């Protein structure tokens, strides 16, 4: 696996930890390419003929495929290995981060001073929404917000290399692909866009925030998240790389910004980790925060948007059931026009589109949707 890009708050990785991470990467490649591919054969040779005998048709959607596939030994075997990969990936970064938690906290703090270009504003009273507190999303222990030590950054320090390992480096050296893909989409569809104020919602450690700072160096960029540990890490990472971004601990459903504060609002893989109600609330908040003529773009994982056949929709829905991302499938079943319409956007100004991946164009494109106010 290629190595991630360097930044100043990167956890130190020992020889043995590196070897474990390499193993986990190779294990994932093997499971994804050699093992998971066998499920198609099981589906076509066993499930489809059997289903046809009793129903005189093929399974109509991913739910019917799942119901049958989950009884198959091969699916159970490949699913266990995929889950094991997720657990090993997490374990590899946990071991590494826990042993240097205090050191990383101090290091992150050293990037915060009155002269810092990137700033941090925390709100310890902010309530964590239930959709984040009820599950450890994609097995991240304590999710994005748990504090383990003074000035804690552990959630960020686990999430950052964790995403890199999950994607096997395919999202770029800084896991920035989705931000770049949205920018490319904006360049194509809104070539005259020149935002003064940009808001990134659910920024986590800022993987996708940084590309906006590169593309729009004159803009004021604010990035919000629920979790203090990811925000501390994000600020230190951004500062160490020389960017000017303001990180704030706020809930995207109900922020503290004034009406009509932003020209461009973006989010990247935020919504599938929330809930139906939160998706409506966030769209409503975006409508309130946008200046007239402003644009909101939410980017998310490319899954079972209606065009996929039932088998592919089923395989891409794995995380809903087995990787603690309960809202993943539901978001993609929703009519995404609805939250935008109910927020007040004009139906003619709503879009649902795809943004091709930049680093690996052979992979399915990101889903982008949003509206112009
Ligand atoms: C998958 S991560 C996002 C990754 C990030 N956008 C990136 O590009 O790498 C989802 C993030 O959204 C945050 N989040 C979830 N619900 C939120 C909310 N209501 N308000 C603000 N942040 C939220 C989580 O704390 C988490 O850091």
Nearest atom within ligand 1 for CA of residue 200:
6
Could you give all domains of the chain from N- to C-terminal order, each with its CATH number? 1-373 (3.40.50.150)
- CB neighbour list of residue 37: distance below 8 Å, 6 or more residues apart: none
DSSP string, 197-220: EEEEES-TT-TTTHHHHHH-TTSE
Name the token pair of 344: 């007040």
Q: Which pLDDT does position 1 carry in this prediction? A: 67
Q: 19: Cβ–Cβ under 8 A, 6 or more apart, which residues? A: none
Measure 144 CA to ligand 1 centroid, in angstroms: 8
φ, ψ dihedrals at 298, nearest 5°:
-100, 125
Pocket lining: 144 vs ligand 1, CB cutoff 6 Å: yes
Q: Residue 246 in contact with residue 221, Cβ under 8 Å?
A: yes
Residue 234 Cβ < 6 Å to ligand 1: no
pLDDT in the model for residue 306: 66
Q: Is 139 left (phi over 0), alpha (psi -120 to 50) or beta?
A: left
CA dihedral 234, 145, 287, 352 (to 10 degrees): 80
pLDDT at 161: 84
Nearest atom (ligand 1) to Cα of 138:
1
| Alpha carbon separation from 149 to 102, 125, 153, 328 (Å, rounded) | 7, 17, 8, 31
pLDDT computed for residue 125 by the predictor: 96
Q: Are 11 and 100 in contact (CB under 8 A)?
A: yes
**Exposed e or buried b for every residue in 291-309, given b needs 16+ CB within 10 A?**
beebbbbbbbbbbbbeebe
Structure confidence at residue 304 (pLDDT)? 54
**Of 205, 231, 212, 31, nearest in space to 121 by CA:** 231
Closest ligand 1 atom, residue 175 Cα: 9
pTM score of the predicted model: 0.95
Rounded Cα gap, residues 164 and 181, in angstroms: 17
CA-nearest residue for atom 14, ligand 1, is 202
Give the distance (Å) from ligand 1 centre to CA of residue 141: 15
Which residues of the chain are under the pLDDT cut of 70? 1, 303-306
Q: Does residue 129 contact residue 87 with C-beta atoms inside 8 Å?
A: no
DSSP string, 289-305: HEEEEEEEEEEE-----
Mapped onto helix, strand or coil, the DSSP state of residue 243 is coil
Bridge partner residues of 353 (DSSP): 368
The rounded Å distance from CA 224 to ligand 1 centre is 8
Residue with tokens 């091709």, as numbered in its chain: 356
Confirm or reject: Cβ of 373 under 6 Å from ligand 1. Answer: no
Angstrom distance (rounded) from CA 66 to CA 81:
17
273 lines ligand 1 (CB under 6 A): yes
Percentage of the chain lying above the pLDDT 70 cut: 99
pLDDT confidence of residue 332: 83
Is residue 324 within 8 Å of 138, Cβ to Cβ? yes
Q: Which of 175, 204, 250 to mutate to test the pocket of ligand 1 (most atoms within 8 A of CB)?
A: 204
For every residue of 350-363, which 3-state class applies, written as one string?
EEEEEECCCCCCCC
Pairing of strands 220-225, 246-249: parallel
């Amino acid at each position: 696996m290629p190595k991630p890009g360097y930044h100043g708050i990167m956890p130190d990785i020992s020889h043995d930890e590196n070897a474990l991470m390499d193993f986990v990467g190779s294990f994932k490649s093997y499971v994804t390419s050699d093992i998971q591919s066998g499920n198609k054969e099981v589906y076509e040779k066993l499930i489809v003929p059997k289903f046809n005998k009793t129903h005189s048709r093929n399974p109509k959607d991913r739910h019917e495929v799942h119901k049958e596939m989950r009884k198959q030994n091969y699916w159970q075997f490949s699913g266990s290995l995929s889950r094991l990969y997720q657990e090993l990936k997490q374990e590899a970064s946990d071991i590494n981060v826990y042993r240097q938690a205090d050191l990383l906290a101090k290091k992150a703090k050293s990037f915060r001073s009155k002269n810092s270009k990137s700033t941090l504003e925390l709100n310890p009273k902010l309530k964590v929404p239930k959709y984040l507190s009820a599950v450890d999303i994609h097995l991240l222990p304590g999710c994005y917000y748990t504090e383990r030590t003074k000035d804690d950054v552990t959630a960020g320090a686990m999430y950052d290399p964790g995403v890199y390992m999950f994607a096997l480096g395919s999202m770029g050296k800084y896991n920035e692909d989705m931000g770049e893909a949205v920018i490319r989409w904006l360049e194509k569809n809104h070539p005259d866009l020149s935002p003064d104020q940009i808001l990134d919602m659910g920024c986590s450690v800022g993987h996708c925030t940084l590309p906006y700072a590169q593309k729009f160096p004159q803009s004021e960029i604010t990035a919000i998240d629920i979790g203090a540990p990811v925000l501390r890490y994000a600020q230190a990472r951004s500062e160490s790389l020389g960017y000017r971004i303001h990180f704030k601990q706020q809930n995207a459903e109900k922020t503290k910004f004034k009406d009509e504060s932003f020209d461009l609002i973006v989010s990247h893989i935020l919504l599938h980790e929330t809930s139906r109600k939160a998706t409506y609330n966030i769209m409503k908040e975006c409508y309130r925060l946008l200046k007239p003529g402003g644009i909101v773009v939410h980017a998310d994982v490319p899954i079972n948007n209606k065009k996929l056949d039932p088998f592919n929709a089923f395989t891409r829905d794995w995380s809903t059931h087995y990787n603690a991302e309960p809202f993943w499938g539901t978001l993609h079943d929703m009519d995404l026009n609805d939250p935008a319409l109910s927020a007040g956007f004009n139906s003619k100004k709503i879009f649902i589109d795809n943004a091709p991946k930049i680093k690996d164009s052979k992979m399915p494109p990101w889903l982008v949707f949003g509206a112009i106010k």
